[in-house]
Amino acid sequence: MAKSDPAGTTRGRRAGTRSARPGGKTPVTGDLVQLLTPDGDRIDQVTWHDGTEYRVDFTDEEYRSLYRDLVLVRKLDAEATALQRQGELGIWASLLGQEAAQVGSGRALRTQDMAFPTYREHGVLYCRGIDPIMPLGLFRGVDLGGWDPNEFKFNMYTIVIGAQTLHATGYAMGVNMDGKTGTDDGEAVIAYFGDGASAQGDVNEAFIWASVFNAPMVFFCQNNQYAISEPLERQTRIPLYQRAAGFGFPGVRVDGNDVLATYAVTRAALDNARHGQGPTLIEAYTYRMGAHTTTDDPTRYRIASEVEAWQAKDPIARVRTFLTKQGIADDAFLAEVDEQAKQEALRLRERVLEMPDPEPLTLFDNVFPNGSPEIDAQRELTARYMDSFEGSAL
């Protein structure tokens, strides 16, 4: 599991540390920041409309490490989907197609930064060094996730749409109150959500609070084009990133299928936040190649040609093409990564199948620190009910 922090370099306009490409100005990008085209060609540096310049400067090993994470994350996700189809998980929310948005932004986090996910950020979780078995315990119904948010600086999955943006903003306001911003070692906070959540009241309230209190926040919206079955054109009349202007902070759109650009944009926004420059909204323009969850059938609301068009922009294929074109990776390396992914997926499956079922009455444990008469009564009632079944072993 590669968890190194690649030494990518970005420069934020508000941080006052612009970079300059030898030979003069770089062209202003179009409607999104892109550093790696779908054909696997590198773009040295781009300038966003507000003058911010973005670039990365990875070593060959760091490029290979990024590719490895992308492949592993996709393979583990596919294994989880298969487990659900075979009845081993209650439900699964696949990240298929959104690997670059998650690995790029996850890798951009520094150790001290705090992340607040939804329920789909398996790639970010992986980049934070959390055992990938953890979310499967949640979706199998044997625990509530199991990782320590304080240890990994990665909060628990949040199912309620958009609620985590308020949690993150409150946390970020606390970071300010604790005086943990204003230096290179400052702490920044990132909140993940989707295009559908951007219409939620919680998200808009979080924008307001983060803006007026200059919270060290990065709002990371993965625009995967659908709020379950609702297409983007039914959700907004303007690009989502432009909404930030109405709340008084910058917004930027990045090619969410480009892991390099996602890394550069996220790192710049986080660094601005940690230096006391306030929030940024990032719209990672991507596509959910699979279903919303395993309870969804996307063939009922989108056409095959649309999916095929986005498959041509596959986030992993373009990195693979780039590595091959540049001679950074050979067939032996690519085969080794595929084999590692296969073996890790196999171990994941075995561990899921070995998970013990929890004792039903543990449902009532840890509700309150010192217990409660009401919870005790519910526990006793449930125990009597379960004892009423013939052959009960409770």
Please, which residues have CB within 8 angstroms of residue 264's CB and are 6 or more apart in sequence? 8, 10, 33, 35, 54, 55, 56, 108
d(CA 9, CA 264): 7
> 213: helix, coil or strand?
coil
Q: Annotated catalytic, 292?
A: yes
Active-site choice (14, 253, 275, 292): 292
Residue pair 170/178 in contact by the 8 Å Cβ criterion: no
d(CA 300, CA 280): 35
Q: Which residues pair with 282 in a beta bridge?
A: 220, 252
Active-site choice (288, 318, 349, 379): 288
DSSP H or E segment with residue 202 = helix 201-212
Q: Nearest Cα to 95, choosing from 121, 75, 118?
A: 121
Active-site choice (18, 85, 301, 385): 301
The sheet carrying 280-285 orders its strands as: 114-116, 189-194, 217-223, 280-285, 251-255
Catalytic machinery residues: 288, 292, 301
